[in-house]
Structure 1
Amino acid sequence: MTRNWFPIKTTPWTLGLPLLTFLLLFQTTSAPERLDFWLYDTLITAIPSEPADDVVIVAIDELSMDRLGRWPWPRTTHAQLIEKLHQAGAKTIVFDILFPEPSAEDQAMADAMQKHGNVILPLHLSPPSRHYLISEQLPAPTLASAAATLGHAHVELDEDGLARGLYLFNGLGDQLWPSLALAASEAPSASPIVSNAPPYTNVRQHYRAIPMAGSAGTLPSHSYIKVLDGQFAKNVFRGKTVFVGATAPGFGDILPTPFSGLNQPMSGVEFHANSYSALVKDELISQVSKPIAIGLAVLVIVLLSFTLPRMRPARSILLCLTSLGLLILLHALLLIGAKLWLPISHAIAIPLLALPVSSALRLAMTNSFLNRQLDELARGPTMTLEEPSLRHPPQLLSHFQALLQPEGWLLAEGDEVMTSSGLAAGDIPPLDTPGQWHHIGGQSWVSLVRNGVTYRIGLKLPNDLSREAIQRYLRRLPLSSTQEPVRKTGPRENISARIERVRVATERMSQMQRFIRRSFERMPDGIIVTDELGVIRFANGHIEEWFREPMPSLSGLPLARLLEGHDPRDNPPWHETVSETLTLAQSRTVDLRIRDKDFLIHFAPFSLPDSDQNGIIANISDISELREQQRQHREAIDFISHDVRSPLVSQLALIEQLKRNRGHIEPEQLDQLGRLAKRSYHLAEEFVQLARAEQLTETRFYECEFLAIVENARDSVSEQAAEKGIQLLLQGTEDLWLKGNAELLERAVINLLTNAVQYSSSGSIVNIQVFQAGHQACLTVSDEGEGIAPEEIPYLFDRYQRQKSSELSGNHGTGLGLSFVNVVVEKHRGEITLRSRPGEGSAFTLKLPIAHPLG
């Protein structure tokens, strides 16, 4: 069969699937977030936001700490600051200082706060100690009631440890607090909101990124002590929102930001001031959800997968670079213009990867056809055997043990003995020539060189007639390689011509291999091919099926071990049969039994043409059916020679007796002669009926009514039942149509009824029930006889099987009646079951498929 060659093309699938796989793997790492952070930080720091005109910071700096002493300061000091700012015209005062514990000076500070009227205090969410749940750390009650509103002071740190934004609302489940910046903005949404979450749950909503005005110190700031002393310009705080917090090193919270990282962290109060500045200028940045970012990446994959395969390499580079630039431009426009932070790391990674993947696919196309052809040859079964000279010494010793079963062995690496049994290091003779066997008495020794290391293998062979043959075999075994390595030269021809030449050659070889493979697979026998050490190198599908061994485990397994594991035997052992086939080069034929099936295995030695390699071809034939036929044939001969011959001999003897005394023929003698003739006829009839049943096929099926068949069978047995006073009670009125052979079915029912009558006591009842169960027509015949012993039930339907109890009681049968019933039921694709207990009778149930189950 010729195969049309066609070029392999880069399709949207071949390009899109690797890109999609990369996207999924990329998503599982932290690289996307870090790349998005880097892009965001680059743009934000390149174009810093202008600060709002009405924001100013009062800093608790080092000078203030030196002048006012150690922290905490008296709250009267903070009250004085509020009064100073109130006098200076500050519109809003925001403290980024926690006041959770009550103090004696709280009322003074509360009075100052109420006098100003717009002082905002922070709250904090944290557990009061290590073993407590998170809770709200509010200002002291006196201060909280005097504050205009409260705001949370939490700032979010991203995965890389930098602060880029915060949640506008944060709190426990029943109440969410606005951030300090939102509370100071006097926006309608700045009031606390109520959530439906459980009260112990930390709830955060509305994350916003903060475009900073610059690094630490960018916003206008005044020292706390100087403000307290009145050292500031007249209108510096008028109409301003003043943030009060710590900036001194080692005091207060410090936050790394995109502008400074960990080198110059920003104080928490300055971060909140930047948040307020961005909020009042409507510059807070909303983050686009991750599914949209993933969707953008998928869209890029789809566009590039459909576009790149149609482009030349130069244009592919331009397309990928253009896609990368457009994505970065889109990111910048959304961030700066629309205040939307779109994570585009997934999307921009796709063009960067699509270019090398597309190039690799194009490069692979030039050799894909050649590789496919070579792969096809490699996948097919090969008759080239692995040379023993290429195997490692421990592997060689293992194969020798499986093949030859030596009485002792030794393997030494250099001067060190690796494994031994029955031989010692002192037994090693001088071995000058590697790969050449030395036979000393019953010992055989060889030295091997592998990768510059010298190994020595010794075998102690049995002292019998096989020793000489084994030693001759070992002498012929090539264990050292003398071939020079083949130097491979690169191709000197045009690639197209080379592909064409290889295509022709591989096509010719493929045809040869397909022929060999199909020949082996379609053979009715199992085939095993071994090398010169009896190791399996090829097996067809029958071997895998019969031995139930997967094909990968068969390859490389010694044949002797395979056979020993499935049919162990001692006379002769399998290793002896395999080794004699190789050493004596003689065929062997042996019986084999695997899982109750009979096989015949034929061992034939072979040698490859133009090569020193040899091995075994083992042909395994399934003879289970033949053995079964032989068994049935023997049983039939026994049946005819005993059961049929016995009444005939009795008849002949009685006839000779009547001939000698013709004048005095008694009626009893004629009755006996009639019974014997009837028995002979009955035996022959059952034998013929069983043969007819075994030859029944569905071509002799037709539609028939089951209840009518049972009624006819009952009528045929009614006379026999009446003689014993047995009632035959038939229950069933429904017509059940079957597709089968009514004659044989009726005969099968007659056999069941005859058995029931025969083994029932006089005056008893035989119940016959005909009914439908699902899609099956069912018949149950139950009697009140002695029942059947449990140990006899498994063999009841075998040929010529008779019940011991029946034979002892005088009910002689042929052993074919129930076997006939079983064959008829199987031919009609039905089933027969038996329920019986000794002393309680028996019940046989037939189940046959009805003709039209849906009718």
Structure 2
Amino acid sequence: MKLRRRLGIEWAGVALAASLIVTGLIYWNSLANFDNLLYDQLSEYDRPAAPDDVLIIAIDEDSLAAFGKWPWSRDRHAELLALLADADPKAIAFDLLLSEPGDSAEDMALADAAAKNENLLLPLHFVFPGSNGADFDIKEPIAPLKQAASAIGHVNLLFDRDGVVRRTSLCFRGIADPATSMEVTWPHLMEQVYRSINGGISPAFSRRPDCQKPLLMPYADRGTFAQVSYAAVANGEMPGAFLKDKIILVGATAQGLGDQHPVPLGDGGTMAGVEIMANLLNDIREDNFITPVSVPTQIALSLIPTWILLIGFWRWRPRTTIFVSVGLVICILAASAILLSLRIWFAPGAALVGLALVYPVWGWRRLQATSDFMDDELKNYRSDTPDIPVLQAPLGPVDLVTEQAEELAHAIKHVRDLRRFISDALTNLPDPMFITDLDGKVKFVNKLAQTGVEDGAQNLALDDMLKRFVAPEDLDDVKDYLALDQNLREHDYVDFTSLNDEVFAMRRARVLSDEGDLRGHIHYLADITEVANAAQEREEVLQLLSHDMRSPQAAILALLDGQDATDDNRRIENHARRTLALADNFVGLARIKSSEFSGEEILLSDLVIEANDSLWPLAKQRGIQSSVEDQTDGAFIIGEPSSLYRSFANLIDNAIKYSPDNSKITIQLRNIAIDKQLFVSVTIADQGNGIAEDMVDHLFERFASNDLDSKGAVKGAGLGLNFVAAVIARHGGTIRAENMRDSGACFTVLLPLAPDPVEPA
């Protein structure tokens, strides 16, 4: 439990830390470079095709060679636009920034040429930061061109942290004038091309509540868009039919013009801005953008593999865990690739980091916790290990964990040896023994308990096991014993006769765990056949004493009755009575110790009066008055009438024997309370010489007697008071003897008052 609790706490800590780290990595986009690199590799396998109706008129090296270095005069562009107007294309996106005024005549000529084209779209761009406290400045085409154009749109590019153009925004929104604080939205130039051709906004634009939110652009392979040289078109080398119904993008592709940018292609090269625009236009037309999952979705998807692995730590073996970890990595990459084919981007970096984090960290913490636990348990083991005759090989120098593993291996071997030692010891016990679990199934039997059970005793039900040992007439007694609560038993064993007429004493003991939890029971059968035979012989001796020895003495007394009271007759009578009393006391003591208490409700005053009346002839013979004073108002006790009657008769007889002639014996009964418990007190006081001082402390011991002051006809043998003390103790009472101040001895008996009867409900 201690190890489980610690591992549970540390598992929760690892789970919480990993979840927070994964969430933080996603929230702050800390793995953008890794995710972008993976995105670039995966996007290689599903690139869109370039459409046939998009044509790039490129200001390339051939054009620079034909018309001179850049920038060219605006008349050159006016000639191109005039030529394109005659070819009747679908739309023209003139991706050249013409925001600075030039020669007014050239500007007007360019504006007139631009006005001849129905769908001419011109770019604007933004300069960051802006002037006069503005966030940005807007660089629009010169006024004549702006008026001649069908629409204008922004052409700013979005660069990721690594400088690669992977994303775009379909619009740009911002406050153009800080004085008015009015927000203005500028659609992208390619969105304007789409609108000029289709007469409405694109599905991608209309579907997004925030058109400025970046979208991932799928790129066609470099060079797949149709491209012709600016010089070839301007020199009339391209027939008008080739240009008709084309979407024409005019832009710079020459390396020296500064419009080359890194894009996510496998070759790692750059792409001209106009070709980037062509890819963007294709994505807008095909509604082919890749949408990144939202941040909450990204967090949830990234945490799922981590939590699968965390939960699996509790159920899987380490070998299974490593295979599952590799499988989860493959699943994450596969899921990212599949979603990318569905135009959804799930960045797998944080999910992979989560797996890479929890596996070694949890392995480290589990190893540390297990190492500490093994260290503590091995220390406890070494301190608690019993000394048994087994050998242990010495350990060599190794690292800590290996040393603990070796110690654990030796401890397990030692436990096996200890188990074998205990098993051998139990198996070879001189009496039958078997162990049952909490379900009453036999889990272990020793050699003697297995004897005669040909089909084995393992997993036998307890009742079936008992039927193989216990004689049918004693089976119920054994089951009653086993049904008793062990803490409430009056006797800790039960004896029975076996099917082979052997006598066993069955004892049951609990099997407890180290924490004190009940695990089963041990049943031990001690062979007491010889003891039982001895008990039978003792009973026969008691019968001899109680019948065969008493009968001759009673016959002697009967023969002497009516004979002359000669000295010889009196001597014979005295010895016969003494022998008879000795036999009665001896038999009474023996039977008390060999039988269970079986009490009933007794009115104690009646029993004492009856005992006193039985001795009236002896008292009258010597002129002694013996009276009973009852102050109990009918007190009942729980007792055995015969033994109690004999006890009080012995006490009254002793009082008569040690009282002088013509004296008085007082017997008093009253109720008293001691420590809130009610008792009946019986005091018997005589007027004799009292008890000798050296006898007071030994009066109730066996064979303790002093007959010097006895006036009776029968001298004591020292068993009468011993019998009385045994009977009173058997009834839960006490007896005390003392000398009174004036003269005489006083015996006080305390017996518990019977509880009030429970009235039926």
TM-score tier, shorter chain, comes to 0.3 to 0.5
Larger Rg: 2
Which structure has more relative contact order (CA 8 Å, sep 6+)? It is 2
Q: Structure 1 length normalisation: TM-score? A: 0.41
* TM-score using structure 2 length: 0.45
